[in-house]
Amino acid sequence: MRVLIAIALFLICTLTSQAQWLTRPRVQNDQNFDKKLIRFGYYLGFNSLDYNFDYIAEQRDIEVKRSVGFNVGLVSSLRLSEYIDLRFEPGLSFTRRDLLYGPDPRFDSEDDLIREVPATYIYLPLLLKINTKRLNNVRPFVTFGVSTATNLSSNEKNPDDNFAGQFRTTTNPFFYEVGFGIDLYLFYFKFTPSIRGIFATSDELVRDNRGNSPWTGNISKMSTRGVFINFTFQ
């Protein structure tokens, strides 16, 4: 997470430090690019996802050990007006989270204190992109929207639960998203670094078959939150 945020801050600082350079008149690359009704591209990027837990009764918080994941996908953009685009960005996202539980007399071994939660998402976001006025070959923007995903690693239908070593999550979570980025108009293509925060609105936990489970019994809601950093080429 720290590495991803550092990259985003570097991009912001670079743009800020070059503010005078941006406003100086220069030759604009591909001046008609944004006037096309429909535009396509692809993106590559990174993610760092966490879980937010709500509990039925107060307890020691479940610690989430995050890892840096990978994103890849396509971009289709529909021009609604001079400053607003509608974007659909289907893709794949790969990530993994490890859940670290505190000591509990109901656990039989130290292995029970850790649950690995891998995820492979077929990711389907629908976003509004609100652009500023173009400054030479740079155009900042903000995005917001909703998304859903199909988690191919969810194990939702698996009859085995944590007592058999299987931590289960729902297959189709829903999210809302907010973000910002910078369009950079290069000589041959448009390059766009962006950062987005995603926040699940649905409960993603599939509870164990026994109500007093030390893994899931005291959780009222488990939902994803995290950061995506993407690099788009159009």
Whichever domain contains 91, its CATH number is: 2.40.160.20
Residue 75 has pLDDT above 60, yes or no: yes
89-115 average pLDDT score: 91
Chain centre to alpha carbon of residue 160? 29
d(CA 39, CA 179): 20
Provide mean pLDDT across the span 86-95. 96
Residue 16 pLDDT level (bands cut at 50, 70, 90) = very low
**How many whole angstroms separate alpha carbon 160 and alpha carbon 168?**
9
Structural domain count of the chain: 1
Domain of residue 83: give its range: 2-233
Q: Supply the pLDDT for residue 103.
A: 85
Q: What is the mean pLDDT of residues 162-186?
A: 94
Helix, strand, coil tally for the chain in percent (to 5): 15, 55, 35
Question: Among residues 146, 135, 228, which one has the least CA distance to residue 183?
Answer: 135
Bridge partners of 126, per DSSP, are: 88, 146
